[in-house]
Structure 1
Amino acid sequence: MTNRFIVNRREAKVMGVGAGIADYTGIDPLIVRLGLVAALLLTGPVVIFLYVITGLVAAER
């Protein structure tokens, strides 16, 4: 677990946000990605908007 959120584009599937969250929290990336899909199904475009904003604004590794 790191002390700062960093987008992980090396292990990315789309923009590296899920891999970055997994690195930051120490959770398996598959679980994080499934959680993002579940959040997408529950909230719709809100998660897409936040995902893209996070991918563009967060620092890269």
Structure 2
Amino acid sequence: MSVIKHDPIGGPPSKGFRLDRTDAKIWGVCGGIANYTGIDATLVRVGFVIGALVSFGTAAVIYGAIGLIAD
């Protein structure tokens, strides 16, 4: 069963989380999170880097899990 992501009449796309392949540096996780939340992708990337340093790599593992599971 497929899910329609865009309204066929031309309305706005549905707000579901998807990896962003156009704004991707590694897998598009940060770009997808930025599109989903409406904030700048650079801020999300900086947040992941700071989170990876502070959490001793746990944020990097979460990033990898999102990249493998999503989309």
TM range (shorter): 0.7 to 0.9
Higher relative contact order (CA 8 A, sep 6+): 1
Runs of 4+, deviation exceeding 2 Å: none
Structure 2 gap ranges (5+): 1-13
The aligned residue for residue 51 of structure 1 is 63
Query: Which TM-score applies when normalising by structure 2?
Result: 0.75
Amino acid at match of 1:12: A
Q: Which has the greater radius of gyration?
A: 2
Higher helix proportion: 1
How far does residue 4 in structure 1 lie from its aligned partner after superposition?
1.5
| TM-score, normalised relative to structure 1 | 0.85
Q: RMSD of the TM alignment (CA)? A: 1.1
